[in-house]
Structure 1
Amino acid sequence: MKTTEIQTSPLDQKLGDHKTHRFQLRLESLPTVAALVIFAAMIVYGELSYGRILQYNTLSNLLINNAHLVIIAVGMTFVILSGGIDLSVGAVIAFTSVSGVMLMNAGLNPWIATLFMIVVGGIFGLTSAILIQYFNVQPFIATLAMMFLARGLASMLSTVPERLPDDSPFRFLGKQVKIIDGPKVNDLVLTAGVVIAVVVVLVAFFVLHRTRLGRTVYATGGSEQSAVLMGLPVNRTKIWVYVISGALAGLASAVYTARLGIAQNITGNGWELDAIAATVIGGTLLTGGAGYVLGSVVGALVLGLMNVLITRDGSIPPEATTIITGGILLVFVLLQRVVGARQRK
């Protein structure tokens, strides 16, 4: 008996590979789509339950109050995509905020002080990267050490709030500018901090999806060994992602401090966890190699809108915020596990 072999043409193979690639892309984007659905559902629920959610001033407050979180979530996206973690960003924000304000109050030009905050943040990230890359320290331990170091330095500098003068040029970053004059107090207002956050997101999107550095970040997180075998600059890339995360923490510190006009050594407590939560909720895999910077923005806005709804409700204690955040994070981690299992199949 003759057996008939079915030969597959190159065109059929290409079509099959294309369908498989599209299916994997749909799976990878599933957590991000879920975050968008949750964000939309929260808006609908808030509008039906409390009202005045779909209006200019709510949108303005959401963007202004969470601009700093968006910025550090972008930096965290780079790190997690590469397969790492950065626990130091909250403490780096505290140290750069206190030191920056003290330098401004001592007479240093505010914009030089702002540059100082960004550079110092990058130095903390570089130190973490050196420990990880050249001393084989686990990212968790290296960035935890930087967290304690930065928090301790902030406390040594000052244990009392450091205030900026109301007429400080630095406060320009937090000055509200009316974009749309709505009825009564329903105005659309933005700050330079929001514009900075948008620019950071756009630049990060371009870097991750249109440059060699971005492609190497994804490849490193997917399989570091394979990335090395392909000749990609893995070592340099892993250093860059931590420098980017630290520098963006310094930038977020400037945006946040300019809005409040005050710096404290306790600023940023737990913000590293918020940034990780925003990144994971936005669809970035904790194991690295898959995710979207725009998804991290959605994740940050989900956390911000959750705080708005809890405040509007009034009956939910503020302490419940962490419980709800933990529940949402758990759901998305489980969703990532399901997506990973389906991809392996």
Structure 2
Amino acid sequence: MTTSAPAQVPRKTRAAKIPIRLDQRYLPVVGTFVVLALMLIVGGTRYENFLTPAVVSNLFINNAHLIVLAVGMTFVILTGGIDLSVGSVLALSTVITAALLQAGLPPAVVIPIAVAAGTVIGLAHGVMIHYFQVQPFVATLAGMFFARGLCFLIAPESIAIDNASFAELATWVQIFGEWRLTSSMLIALIVVGLAFVALHLTRFGRTVYAIGGGEQSALLMGLPVARTKVLAYVVSGTCAGLGGLLFAMYSRSGYSLTGVGMELDAIAAVVIGGTLLTGGTGFVLGSVLGVLVLGLIQTIITFEGTLSSWWTRIVIGVLLLIFVLVQRALTLRRT
């Protein structure tokens, strides 16, 4: 007697449903992108010739120095710190550039000196903050006064830049159809690319995020907290020095009162771009989006024509408050 194998009853296979959920860390950046897209749509429907390559190119060109400042500020804020000196360091870099070029030094010598001035000030900030336990607000506030004072010592009046080689560098442009790529814009994009790689693909970047998430925890994990924290301020100071060089290329002059309040624009761009002021969460590309939002506000008010330029500050203040409230809500929800 043979027994047949029991017939296998076919089972109904169900497609595995994988819930698509957006990480809460990305929500502020997505919000910034949505705001930027809405502003572009409203501007394109309201104003003629708004969504043209020339306007978009100018948006990047006019804000190249602020993009570089915001990149450096992102590193500092990610560690839970702040840098109030970047506007004054930017001015110092423009003044050094103009004064040395006027003295007859070649741009190949002047440019590294102008950028290195910001690097040295950033290094001093990092040492004071980590090794001497000075609060970032106080240390960088002292740096702000120090850099601004040096500006007036070097150049009490505005200095025009008439060096032919520097002018050639400043006016370098590549045209792709109706799009323009200038030297300042190219440098800013390179800085953004390097910062993205450093933050997301290196141990240094991971340590920056770890310090912002909890410095004591980072120490317990054996991470190089001291070196990374100091380097974060070095990056910010270097970006401020480079931003001053870009502003000197843009304005073709060095002036002691350049960049007054620009540190607040950089902080606003970083916060609007989704970086938490408490540190640990944020993205350098979000900071770039924040700069573009600020620049687009100014562009829309320029196209409007009838509005005062002070409306730029009002709109930025409202946006900043909204994004801070959103960040606070997300932080409480995560907790």
TM-score, normalised by the number of residues in structure 1:
0.90
The answer to whether 1:253 aligns with 2:239 is: no
CA displacement, residues 201-232 of structure 1 (integer Å, 9 cap, x when unaligned): 11100000010000000000001110000000
Please list every run of at least 4 consecutive aligned residues from structure 1 whose deviation after the TM superposition is greater than 2 angstroms. 171-174
Q: 2:207 aligns with which of 209, 216, 226?
A: 216
8 A contact 2:120–2:237 mirrored in 1:
yes
Larger Rg: 2
Question: Which residue does the alignment assign to 2:14?
Answer: none
Question: Which residue does the alignment assign to 2:3?
Answer: none
CA–CA separation in structure 1 for the residues paired with 2:172 and 2:55? 14
The answer to whether 1:56 aligns with 2:53 is: yes
| TM-aligned CA deviation for residue 174 of structure 1 | 2.5
Question: Which residue does the alignment assign to 2:318?
Answer: 327
CA displacement, residues 81-126 of structure 1 (integer Å, 9 cap, x when unaligned): 0110000000001111101210111011112111001111000101
8 A contact 1:171–1:259 mirrored in 2:
no
CA–CA separation in structure 2 for the residues paired with 1:308 and 1:179? 22
The answer to whether 1:36 aligns with 2:9 is: no
Question: Which residue does the alignment assign to 1:14?
Answer: none
The answer to whether 1:84 aligns with 2:81 is: yes
Secondary structure class of the residue paired with 1:290: coil
State, as a whole percentage, how many aligned pairs show the same letter. Answer: 48
| TM-aligned CA deviation for residue 155 of structure 1 | 1.2
The answer to whether 1:264 aligns with 2:255 is: yes
Secondary structure class of the residue paired with 2:23: helix
8 A contact 2:271–2:320 mirrored in 1:
yes
Aligned AA (2:156): T
CA displacement, residues 20-74 of structure 1 (integer Å, 9 cap, x when unaligned): xx85x62111110000000011111111111212111101110100011100100
5+ unaligned residues in a row in structure 2: which ranges?
A: 1-17
| TM-aligned CA deviation for residue 282 of structure 1 | 0.6
The answer to whether 1:142 aligns with 2:133 is: no
Aligned AA (2:332): A
Q: How does 1:122-201 map to 2 (within 5 A)?
A: 122-165=119-162, 167-181=163-177, 187-201=178-192
TM-score, normalised by the number of residues in structure 2:
0.92
CA displacement, residues 158-188 of structure 1 (integer Å, 9 cap, x when unaligned): 22110011x521223431524234xxxxx32
8 A contact 1:173–1:255 mirrored in 2:
no
CA–CA separation in structure 2 for the residues paired with 1:172 and 1:236? 38
Aligned AA (1:152): G
Q: 1:228 aligns with which of 219, 222, 230?
A: 219
CA–CA separation in structure 1 for the residues paired with 2:173 and 2:148? 33
8 A contact 2:97–2:248 mirrored in 1:
no
Q: How does 1:275-294 map to 2 (within 5 A)?
A: 275-294=266-285
8 A contact 1:72–1:275 mirrored in 2:
yes
Question: Which residue does the alignment assign to 2:4?
Answer: none
CA–CA separation in structure 2 for the residues paired with 1:180 and 1:225? 50
CA–CA separation in structure 2 for the residues paired with 1:110 and 1:306? 35
CA–CA separation in structure 2 for the residues paired with 1:211 and 1:272? 27
CA–CA separation in structure 2 for the residues paired with 1:199 and 1:239? 23
CA–CA separation in structure 2 for the residues paired with 1:240 and 1:89? 15
CA–CA separation in structure 2 for the residues paired with 1:103 and 1:241? 28
Secondary structure class of the residue paired with 2:180: strand
| TM-aligned CA deviation for residue 198 of structure 1 | 0.6
8 A contact 1:90–1:270 mirrored in 2:
yes
Say how many residue pairs are matched: 318
